[in-house]
Structure 1
Amino acid sequence: MSNSRLFMAPDGSSERCSSHGAGLGIILANKIENNCEKDMAMLGYLPYEEAGAVGITIVKDYRLSRVLKGLPAEKAGLKEGDVIVSVDGKTPADQHDLFTLLFGKKDTKVRVVVRRNGSEMPFEFTRAKISEMVQRK
């Protein structure tokens, strides 16, 4: 018997927790998988089916280089060229921090402030399932 679960990281990478076993071996295999899942959660990974995102691509200066049509960021009014200033009231320290702030569980709200044409503008929207992002790329 084999068990496997996919996890997503804030940067979009993925890892899989797997276990294999038969008979009494499945008990040990499941324990190993459960430990793997706990480790993944401690590292900031979410199970694929719970992961959410907003539908944007960002370049180094926090500028939106792509806003996917029909997804949360676009529906809220974000546009290519907007520069992210803060996420949920926090100013990102670097690109990795920005990804971590934007990443979260599906169906949770996120507040983003962007700079557009010299003015700061607040937006709030709900993260969509990662699988919706994959289908629209």
Structure 2
Amino acid sequence: MTDIAAPNVSPRNGKPGTPPYADVWPNRKVARVAALAAKGYSAPAIAAEISDGSTPSQIAHMIWVWGIQAGSSDTRRSYADVPVPLAAKHRTALAAEAKRRGMDLSELLQKVAVTLCRDDLFGAVLDG
């Protein structure tokens, strides 16, 4: 099995005087990056997950070169679906709250998650 390489590209976008190079990644790394991207991980999250010195820019470039699609039907570049298994009683409670607020379940969950991140409420929510 051969490793996957990017087409010859220049480190300075093909400007004269810069040598072309091919970035070769082992198949295992390619598969892991592709799997994480398909799950909706961002390039910075993938770089942090694989922790091998790859930068988010390198990850993003290789995802683009390989034509990997993010794990989402959403066409906005940085958005992805995040599947979260929930018990029926929790889905029911969340759906009822969403209805009271005039939202659908996915809108409510998105607003909760965004607010949690934006206001750094992880400790308040997770630690009691």
> Which interval holds the TM-score relative to the shorter structure?
under 0.3
- Relative contact order, higher structure (CA 8 A, sep 6+): 1
Which protein is bigger by CA-based radius of gyration? 2
TM-score in terms of structure 1 length: 0.22
TM-score in terms of structure 2 length: 0.23
**Whose helix proportion is higher, 1 or 2?**
2
